[in-house]
Amino acid sequence: MEKDTQLLVIGAGPGGYSAAFAAAELGLKVTLVDKNSYLGGVCLHKGCIPSKTLLHAAKLIFESQDAGQYGLNFTKPTIDITKLRSFKDEVIKKLTSGLTFLCKKHKVTFIYGEASFIDSNTVNIQNNGANQNISFDKAIIATGSNPIKFPNIEFNEHIWDSTSALALNEIPENLLIVGGGYIGLELGTVYAALGSKVSVVELTDEILPGLDSDLVKIFKKRLKNIFANIWTNTKLLKVEKSANGLSVSLQDKEGKITNKEFNKVLISIGRKPDVQSLKLEKTKVSLDEKGFVKTNNKLQTNDPSIYAIGDITSGPLLAHKASMQGRIAAENIAGYEEFFNPKAIPACIYTDPEIATCGMSEIEAKIKNIDYSVINLPWLTSGKAVSLDRTDGLTKILVDTKTKKIIGVGIVGVGASEIISGMTIAIENIMDIKQ
Ligand code: FAD
């Protein structure tokens, strides 16, 4: 029996819409469903785009402050938070309408509603009590990820997740960020630039766990001037309402407990795959031990009708990974044979300075017992860095000792995110280094 659609894509984030548009270009009849009425997913509405828009404002503020050192004196900017919020919302609106246009152009049918599986070839879609079933030949799950909640602490108007922080409803005098990962540090940078006194608490012995310590060391030197406190090896115990805002209990490595007052707390302790609503038990799709959907390198799950891409699968939770996987899954479904086997997925942290990495870190090379050497290029010798008065940078290249191939690159410094793409091409194309 002919199905309602050849390809059903669940989730219209960067993974889902890229898959839908690619499949439509390859001639498939495509239906795209999202529980939000708009396209773009977390990246466009609650992630990359609003955060990068606000980080751009933060960069201008910091640059104007630094310029005093070479004779350009700006007065302290007045912050019109309503206008800044509208600018951010306008950026999102423009990009959302671009995606709506592309959806129509590709003749992809968009359905607003929450999808759950009935079996391996049928979903039920619910929207405010209205119900419909859609049958499909193949489906791609691209439902992304959600912020992890801190045990016994509910998000509310004072205890924020990244979405509340990006709403930019107010600039708190004192803000505590729980979690020293990239999302917390980027949002902390925004609020520090806008005038908040920002503190960070991190459970492990260093912020940005997983990154090589030499890169973090250079980054932290400047961060210490921007943030009021960075408490590592420190555990959040509880947050309670107090007369002035929130009373927070923190415990250090030795077990000493201190109570501190903050106006707002932002919990940013990681993200988890959003599988809850899908009723995957009605299919043959299986999950790994961390709850991510298992796939092979063609992005096919254990159910032959169903593929999975983006944050719902393991690996870095990044928008460009999701969109690349979307294209590959669509091509496989359309009858081509494509594999997702990246050697180097670039990852950028848009703080001040930026950090960008691709390929293997030194930590990873050690774990994998790889015989490597490191080439360090401090930015003290970079003409551009000197002319910007920002020599707080390092380019670090990992080379396989035997083959002389570049296996990993880490960069810390102003504009690191713009340099990393060239390095990614070098690793993906197995280039070697001239020494
Ligand atoms: P998502 O974008 O999460 O989209 C999933 C979609 O599925 C959502 O629209 C959701 O409504 C829908 N959905 C879920 N369940 C259902 C259901 N049952 N039925 C129908 N629809 C459903 N990445 C970068 O590469 N660079 C960055 O600078 C960056 N910055 C970030 C900053 C922040 C603050 C955050 C939170 C994330 C950031 N990310 C960044 C990560 C990036 O947003 C994600 O990697 C990306 O959005 C993942 O895309 P996706 O398509 O897998 O899922």
Ligand 1: list residues with CB < 6 Å: 10-16, 33-36, 41-43, 46-48, 51-52, 114-115, 142-145, 162, 183, 274, 277-278, 310-311, 317-320, 322
Distance 232 CA to ligand 1 centre (A): 28
C-beta separation of 51 from 350 below 8 A: yes
DSSP at 126: E
Distance 42 CA to ligand 1 centre (A): 3
| CA 10 to centroid of ligand 1, rounded, Å | 12
* Contact assessment for residue 140 and residue 51, using Cβ atoms and an 8 Å cutoff: no
Taking the centre of ligand 1 as the mean of its atom positions, its distance from the CA of residue 300, in whole angstroms, is 20
Which residue has its alpha carbon closest to ligand 1 atom 43? 43
Q: How far apart are CA 124 and CA 346, in angstroms?
A: 37
What's this model's pTM, rounded to 2 decimal places? Answer: 0.96
User: 3-class SS at 4?
Assistant: coil
DSSP string, 13-37: SHHHHHHHHHHHHTT--EEEEESSS
DSSP assignments along 310-348, one per residue: GGGSSS---HHHHHHHHHHHHHHHTT-------S---EE
Compute and round to an integer the Cα radius of gyration of the chain.
23
Contact of 155 with 267, CB cutoff 8 Å: yes
User: Which amino acid appears at position 253 of this protein?
Assistant: K
Between the CA of 430 and the centroid of ligand 1 the distance, in Å, is 31
Tell whether omega for the bond before 151 is within 30 degrees of 0, i.e. cis: no
**Tokens found for residue 225:** 């001037």
3-state secondary structure of 63: helix
Atom of ligand 1 nearest to the CA of 147: 36
**Cα–Cα distance measured from residue 314 to residue 297, given in angstroms and rounded to the nearest whole number:** 12
Crossing angle (nearest 10°) for helices 213-226 and 182-194: 20
pLDDT tens over the chain, length 435 residues: 788 999 999 999 999 999 999 999 999 999 999 999 999 999 999 999 999 999 999 999 999 999 999 999 999 999 999 999 999 999 999 999 999 999 999 999 999 999 999 999 999 999 988 999 999 999 999 999 999 999 999 999 999 999 999 999 999 999 999 999 999 999 999 999 999 999 999 999 999 999 999 999 999 999 999 999 999 999 999 999 998 799 999 999 999 999 999 999 999 999 999 999 999 999 999 999 999 999 999 999 999 999 999 999 999 999 999 999 999 999 999 999 999 999 999 999 999 999 999 999 999 999 999 999 999 999 999 999 999 999 999 999 999 999 999 999 999 999 999 999 999 999 999 998 876
Report the separation in Å between the CA atom of 389 and the middle of ligand 1, taken as the mean of its atom positions: 36
Atom of ligand 1 nearest to the CA of 278: 18
Contacts with 380 (C-beta within 8 Å, 6 or more apart), sequence order: 386, 391
